[in-house]
């Protein structure tokens, strides 16, 4: 996924989850923060950040917060992008476990009044139901973690994917690590024990757990390869 031209800024403060005041050359603007998580370690005042301009000129907030620099590494914090990044990677054959499907559909209704991020279909193969989660938490060097806050919605997604396996389909939870400085993944069980239990139950039920890392730059984000799950 390629970015439009980005503007460098300094974070003044993040508040109300979805708002962030940014200093652009001495002018403070309010940017939209498309991230419902806690953003531990990624929202400290003074951090370097990069913003994109909103494409809708009528939108109230003219800026979107895209990237932040943490410990010298660019981290993607915009949770609106991972589905596009993963869809591009699947079409390019960069995710081996999900290769060989002729059709990719997005936001397909399923489960209990939910929508799955994508469904892959091909004649002669069971459909593959895929959910994507953005991963940006790293509390230990080289290790990425999910989630960074309680996510009842995430636990529900795991249960619904398990139901798809029981119905004879494939189901995969794909964790997209939106930073390039980690080489392994683990659940942040202390952040949300309920989610951790749902993960264990779904994996035992046959849901495929995939973790792929990105190369994050100021011009684009691209999937680079799979990394292992430590637990």
Q: Distances from the Cα of 56 to the Cαs of 62, 66, 80, 148, in angstroms?
A: 8, 16, 16, 30
Answer yes or no: is pLDDT of 19 > 90: yes
In 3D space, the residue among 97, 93, 78 whose CA is nearest the CA of residue 223 turns out to be: 93
Specify the pTM.
Answer: 0.95
Q: Which are the contacts of 167, defined by CB distance < 8 A and separation ≥ 6? A: none
Read off the pLDDT of residues 47-100 as tens digits, 9 standing for 90 and up. Answer: 999 999 998 888 899 999 999 999 999 999 999 999 999 999 999 999 999 999
Alpha-carbon dihedral 84, 90, 95, 96, rounded to 10 degrees: 170
Q: Enumerate the H helices of 118-185 as residue ranges.
A: 152-166
pLDDT at 114: 86
pLDDT at 112: 77
């Amino acid at each position: 996924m390629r970015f439009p031209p980005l503007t460098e800024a300094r974070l003044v403060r993040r508040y109300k989850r979805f708002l962030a005041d940014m200093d652009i050359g001495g002018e403070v603007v309010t940017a939209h923060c498309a991230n419902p998580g806690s953003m531990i370690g990624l929202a400290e005042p003074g951090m370097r950040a990069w913003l994109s301009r909103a494409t809708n000129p009528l939108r109230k907030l003219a800026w979107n917060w895209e990237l932040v620099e943490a410990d010298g590494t660019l981290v993607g914090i915009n949770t609106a992008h991972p589905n596009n990044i993963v869809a591009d990677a699947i079409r390019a054959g960069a995710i081996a476990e999900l290769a060989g499907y002729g059709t990719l559909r997005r936001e397909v209704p399923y489960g209990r009044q939910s929508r799955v991020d994508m469904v892959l279909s091909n004649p002669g193969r069971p459909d593959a139901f895929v959910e994507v989660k953005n991963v940006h938490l790293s509390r230990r060097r080289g290790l990425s973690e999910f989630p960074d806050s309680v996510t009842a919605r995430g636990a529900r997604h795991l249960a619904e994917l398990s139901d798809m396996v029981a119905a004879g389909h494939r189901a995969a939870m794909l964790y997209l690590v939106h930073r390039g400085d980690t080489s392994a993944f683990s659940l942040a069980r202390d952040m949300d024990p309920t989610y951790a239990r749902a993960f264990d139950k779904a994996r035992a039920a046959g849901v495929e757990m995939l973790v792929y890392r990105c190369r994050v730059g100021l011009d684009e984000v691209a999937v680079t390869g799979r990394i292992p799950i430590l637990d």
